[in-house]
Structure 1
């Protein structure tokens, strides 16, 4: 059984989602305000958060930012705010998915189940990311492959961490470049990003010519592939 936190102020939607989540076997806590969500977050451990954006006392974006300071728990935004700016912001601040209202319940449940499966497959402990034989010690700022230290530059470490924090999610070059900058604080362009990815693959892949960890998704971008097989 997975434990979910729903942050939503629409009572009719709360009633419908509560029934659907519980029927699917999920344990559910409900918050109708940002303050209630913050109190529940302090008290409980959750496997996934479903957040509205517009709330009586603030924004779901604010809550997401606070959560991301200490946790990589999966987050889905479920909101009527369907502008491109809002969607980009929601994903850039750490959301794993963004679903706009009105929505189909079956689609929402399918996405929740997919994210929960991915989260369970991706081992994460406080201060550590681990997947496919690669481990990142967040507090130490070090990375290891099958227990052996990896000699990474600051940019390579930052890139690896960014990929591993969002397993199996396709990241566009623009999204990656928006988070990655060189040691002098300059933003990275597309050519430089390609070089960084090639160099990182040379250090973490068993066969850099056939990458299985950082894979290219044609015409879309890159993703950290927890499946471990070439795509």
Structure 2
């Protein structure tokens, strides 16, 4: 890549993680900035205008959630949080407070790169994705609110379509259960996760999407859901 390569800021106090990410990101052509703590990371974010921030939740001088809250006061730069394995409450908290995605440690560099590409495609100021998705099997026309599977029209309920369209608009990114419930059912239903499970189950049946080995709708246990197509 040239000087227009996206600039990635990594804020992590673990030397081996910083080195792993530095090597992996540079190999993919990204420009990399490294920070060992929150203070250094926020300073670089303010002065170097990164295109994306990789932020560890556990930092020595400030919790990653607090770094995210401070950053969100003046920047909408995409933020990918790094969290320890199975820390579901931390993931949900991060996503609800402005993180765009998360990756659990340990993680593979290819998974991370796929997440980065999805976030960079949809970063603020970028043109929105076209209102139509078509991978040759599943076709969704959001302008006409039509869904086809292998050329055959699918009859979806209003809620099924709303959930599919919401996940599709955030393709490649995790959407928390509370986010889906808030946008589709309303703010008074953010705890009614059983509604969401029922609708997702019926939607998967109509799509023929296996929840164990999903093609489109992936469950992030205890956190939310991710549309896999195009990520």
Q: TM-score range by the shorter chain?
A: 0.5 to 0.7
Counterpart in the other structure of 1:55: 59
Looking at structure 1, the residues matched to 113 and 225 of structure 2 have their Cα atoms a distance apart, in angstroms, of 25
Q: How far, CA to CA, are the matches of 1:42 and 1:62 in structure 2?
A: 16
Match of 1:65 among 58, 61, 69: 69
Name the CA distance, whole Å, in 2 between partners of 1:21 and 1:177. 35
1:51 Cα deviation after fit: 0.6
> How many Å separate the matches in 1 of 2:111 and 2:226?
22
Match of 2:38 in 1: 34
Return the alpha-carbon distance in structure 1 between the equivalents of residues 47 and 185 of structure 2.
Answer: 36
Distance 1:223 1:13, change over 3 A: closer
Q: Aligned partners of 1:54 and 1:97: how far apart in 2?
A: 16
Equivalent pair of 2:218/2:225 in contact (CA under 8 Å): no
- The answer to whether the 8 A contact 1:123-1:130 is kept is no
Helix, strand or coil at the partner of 1:58: coil
Q: Is the 8 A contact 1:6 1:30 kept in 2?
A: yes
For the residues of structure 2 that align with 1:219 and 1:34, how far apart are their CA atoms? 32
TM-fit CA distance, 1:181: 10
Tell whether the 8 Å contact from 1:34 to 1:57 is kept in structure 2 after alignment: yes
SS in 1 for 2:8: strand
Partner of 1:156 in structure 2?
none
User: 1:218 & 1:6 partners in 2: Cα distance?
Assistant: 29
Does residue 84 (structure 1) correspond to residue 85 (structure 2)? The answer is: no
- Partners in 2 of 1:62 and 1:77 — Cα distance? 12
Tell me, which stretches of 5 or more residues in structure 2 are unaligned?
132-165, 193-215
Q: CA RMSD in A?
A: 3.8
Alignment TM-score, normalising by the size of structure 1: 0.57
| Contact 2:57-2:81 within 8 A present in 1 as well | yes
CA contact (8 A) 2:35 2:41 kept: yes
Are residues 1:97 and 2:101 paired? yes
CA distance, structure 1, for counterparts of residue 174 and residue 36 of structure 2: 31
Q: Output one character per residue of 1:113-157: Cα deviation in whole Å (capped at 9) or x when no partner.
A: 2322x22xx6628xxx96659xxxxxxxxxxxxxxxxxxxxxxxx
Whether 1:4 aligns to 2:8 is yes
Give 1:124's aligned residue.
Answer: 125
What residue in structure 1 maps to residue 79 of structure 2? 75
Give the distance between the partners of 1:10 and 1:223, measured in 2 at CA: 28
Question: Distance in 2 between the 1:40 and 1:72 partners?
Answer: 15
**SS at structure 2 position matched to 1:43:** helix
Q: Is the 8 A contact 2:95 2:176 kept in 1?
A: no
State how 1:1-231 maps to structure 2 within 5 Å.
1-80=5-84, 82-116=86-120, 118-119=121-122, 124=125, 167-168=170-171, 169=173, 171=175, 174-178=178-182, 187=188
C-alpha separation between the residues in 1 aligned to 2:15 and 2:82? 14
